[in-house]
Structure 1
């Protein structure tokens, strides 16, 4: 996959993706073979699936980085291993990130191979190539796990983000279709997708004024401005946009009821525990993997209960469901503490 283009339809709540597989594919991109249309809910589900499996991507990126200056066969075997994941063929984002990581690794390996006779600088070139791969996977991780709500942005800490959003136009019949080219980490896609979701929730996110003084509470909105290409200290590429996040008054919202989507509640709680193990044992993924082995029993328990409620046409927002959620969260926490205690004593 050479490029990924996307077009968000807020009215239909869908995103149309165009896969550009190679240079010759651009002129014939508008075809059934290259077009994928996903609903908002399917995209959210795919992202959540990828988050649960992302440790595998980090591990593969580390192995690819270390194999860059070594024999070709182990390097290609690791590329094939990354592409053989079951999620690779069923999840568009996993497919895109896998291709991005593999293409980046091949490019860096080519640079290293061309520099093999540079005896003095060869080691620094290898280290730079490794660093580039690690930087890419970290950028993907930061994007995938980012808090796109921006609700925790402090009033005294405005955030400025710059990125490039090239646009492609395709002539289809009597109309022009506009598609945005996704970047390597899909930052611009997730940014635009979150805006669309917020609009669906009746949030007027883009608002350059700040005269909404009749409400209490504080959330964050942002101002969008284009910087001239000749100004200093700004990206000089065409279509570069600067997004400045500024605090403004917003209405307070009631917290989401965890019983509204019990399965998602448990999934989020379980992921938070696996992430804590990942942070506490950064050089050892065994604790995290051990906890993940137990996730099926927790997920199955809540899914079975939700299914019962659906059959009986009963709302999940009830004291019994809240009690069950607390029980499952306590069980997850016990498993987490046992694993944590086990590996702390091993060190």
Structure 2
């Protein structure tokens, strides 16, 4: 069955702009793919690409077998066609083998060179670092997703109404989560905007079964002890705590946050607090929190970042690192001084503009060179 293209938006597009084809499916993880969606529609609106948003199950662009965590795109520039993949898995030791075989370029969010060399094997030359991913909403994407869902439900509903209804029910939480996301504007803040003299660290802990083969005791230990030490030292100047999941309530009842954990409310906290604390994501991934901090032009304290980024962050320029909890307290205390953090906030504003807005993040994927 031929694919159904969806007209995304009206724009003046350069005739030599590359054509980018992407296949939408209900089963994709729209929360994790939201930055890609916003980047593609934004580039199309600026006339930098011609976007062919397809509705075609079973075609070569279909990557639903990955749980929607690996996207496939065809990028055509003139007579040259490039098969491009974006891998958003947390794990650096996980690759989608069929996609790795299929593509010419494989951009990986969790890029760790030892794993690329040993696991990607003869396809390692295709793998490149993507950089940071985060979830955000965009009005153009809102309209596009609504139309896409209706079209696909209508198409498939006539053939298999029960199956489509079940798929929609399975995806309802994903769409509900997407609808609750902040927009890019809700993350961004000027580096010159005054901030509270406060240290923010609001995070969650995980049940061991949720993070295997990563080590829950290691992740939970550094997060819970960081909250404990920061709260004890900074007292009323500390903001945050552990997200009150059932697991956290059972094991860390004294460390729970009493603040809202909604994404939009958290974005407001990030924009208002003087120092922002970050610890590694699951499987050593770069969690969504770090790009959110950078977008806010924040002063950042972080433990060492293992994975490679497409454009590296610089120690002492974009962040200050800590090796143990005593260092965490000392570095955070120093950065509370507005003069000490002024240059870092400005540098992070520049970094976010150059690399983290949706268009800036996605543009390298569709570059034909």
**TM, length-normalised to structure 1:** 0.25
**TM, length-normalised to structure 2:** 0.24
Greater Rg, structure 1 or structure 2?
A: 1
| Higher share of residues assigned helix | 1
